[in-house]
Chains A and B, each alone.
Chain A
């Protein structure tokens, strides 16, 4: 065996040695950082988030002189050149009312991302609580809770969202306007949409958490903790949840794109975000309305659709990367 091979062997041994001293979470982060598509996607998403967060700032502040005029249109500003193709003034063209598509996309992407994040947050809370309780309590309670999940799984959840929104929208708006401010009342539909989308997307999360908790609660360290007098709440918080949080992060990341998608479906059907607010799905449906055989306004569809597709792709890459790094089942 040559010297080079020996030293390589020694190196890999040393590497294996240090890896054993890393916690599973540290190992997972290492694995994630080696995943190039996931890193590129994270960077892309970071840029997108920065853009949509900073855009309203530079648009309205004195900084607006520093950026090209094309980047400073208001999403509600009407001009007298509707349906103009991409040009130096409007980089991505204008829509039926002469509004700048680029600014509409910034605005829409912001709402789509917020919908995804908040919806995923709501589904996280419900799913983790439901799954943890079912898995930990076990027995008959577990059986009933999981049958409910099974039944909900095979019902078209879109109906629940629609019913929820139709049912409580008016009361919710009145309550918001009365308790907080009329301005917030105007956002009632959007807030309800967040809650509704989260409330129908927790099923997978509940199943995964329940499976993990079921296997964790028979472990010795849980028995040890219980024999030392710890209560259910403490065991769940201190011993069980820290052990499932890796998988929870993974599935939250994968829930975000599916909720963004769901919202765009609802908007497309006219059940989601309503003007003057706009999400990416709403922009696409506005473009789809203008399809006619005489003249194709392709920029109204292609750009928002491209941005939506790209965002979903990046989110999925990140989610996959996280899962490969965290989920023990995908380890070789």
Chain B
């Protein structure tokens, strides 16, 4: 019931976000046709503005946009003529999602074991080494590690392609670049979660009844210890996105992040609104899923 309500709540939220994005981009100074290579004559300009309804009041424009949106149409791009925003999304979204998902898995795959072991070996040298590595990961943002990885693995050793997208080999360097910062962050959360859990009474009980340590750690403690990581997954997705703008531009990957940043420069209004809306809805839905997973892992949590 609760999740159904949340799901329904997404609709007005998406509407609000789309309207805010729509109003904001229209308020920005400059229009999409300011930087044409050949400056259009006033008549041509007028005709172009009329074509995209830019001469109408804001609410009329928004109403037309909503009508399109209901049919699943994000409108035409104002900069890439002959392309609709849908075209760009269809072409770029799978790439961005692949990158985001593989970085997400990389971050979890490295971060969770690292955090787990540092917590289990608390106060001994594996803890100090592991925690330092985690902190180090945490301090090498994409734009530091990306160029360094390219210089070393792609140019010097020639193991991986320098940039672009296509084969599975293309995925590896961007994934590491994007994921490494978050793996450090997750390791720290995991360590904290495990340490609180290991002090809990039910862990002592499990040990007292003679369970072997592996079962205590993996079956009993892990389940609660991983909760901080799960609750971070929501914001993590938003952060991955910000990071993916940078990674896509370092490796010149044709995902949608690049289009979003460029559309802000070129005042490609429909593109900006469409992509912002897409990102927002994507994140809201993913957050809902995170909350669902949360209740599955920890049945004590009840949403009213």
Residue numbers of A with Cβ under 8 A of B are 151, 153-159, 162-163, 166-167, 170, 257, 261-262, 264-265, 268-271, 281, 284-285, 287-288, 291, 293, 296, 298, 301-302, 305, 308-309, 312-313, 316-317, 320, 329
Contacts and interface: CB of A to CB of B under 8 A. Distances in A.
Contacts of B261: 269-271
Given A155-B238, A268-B143, A313-B139, A301 B151 contact: yes
A309 B155 contact: no
A247 to B, nearest CB: 15
Given A158-B245, A301-B147, 9 more contacts: A155-B279, A155-B280, A159-B279, A265-B242, A291-B147, A293-B155, A296-B151, A309-B139, A312-B141
A167 B28 contact: yes
Contact of B144 (A163, A166, A284): A284
Given A153-B234, A293-B162, A287 B147 contact: yes
A262 B284 CA distance: 22
Given A154-B283, A155-B17, A167-B27, A305 B238 contact: no
Given A264-B143, A301-B147, A313 B135 contact: yes
A27 to B, nearest CB: 21
Contacts of A312: 138-139, 141
Interface centre among A158, A257, A262, A316 (most CB of B within 10 A): A158
Interface residues of B, number: 47
Contacts of A151: 13
Nearest to A302: B148
Given A288-B250, A296-B155, A153 B238 contact: yes
A207 to B, nearest CB: 11
Interface in B2-37: 13, 17, 21, 24-25, 27-29
Given A269-B245, A302-B148, A313-B135, A288 B162 contact: no
A312 B140 CA distance: 8
A288 B251 CA distance: 10
Contacts of A305: 143-144, 147-148
Contacts, number: 115
A51 to B, nearest CB: 20
B287 interface: yes
16 contacts: A153-B238, A154-B234, A155-B280, A158-B242, A163-B264, A167-B24, A167-B27, A268-B143, A284-B147, A291-B147, A296-B151, A298-B151, A301-B148, A305-B143, A309-B139, A309-B144
A159 B139 contact: no
A132 B273 CA distance: 34
Contacts of A291: 147, 150-151, 155, 162
A154 B233 CA distance: 10
Contacts of A313: 135-136, 139
Contacts of A301: 147-148, 151
A166 B28 contact: yes
Contacts of B196: 329
Interface string B117-145: 00000000000000000011011111110
Nearest to B249: A269
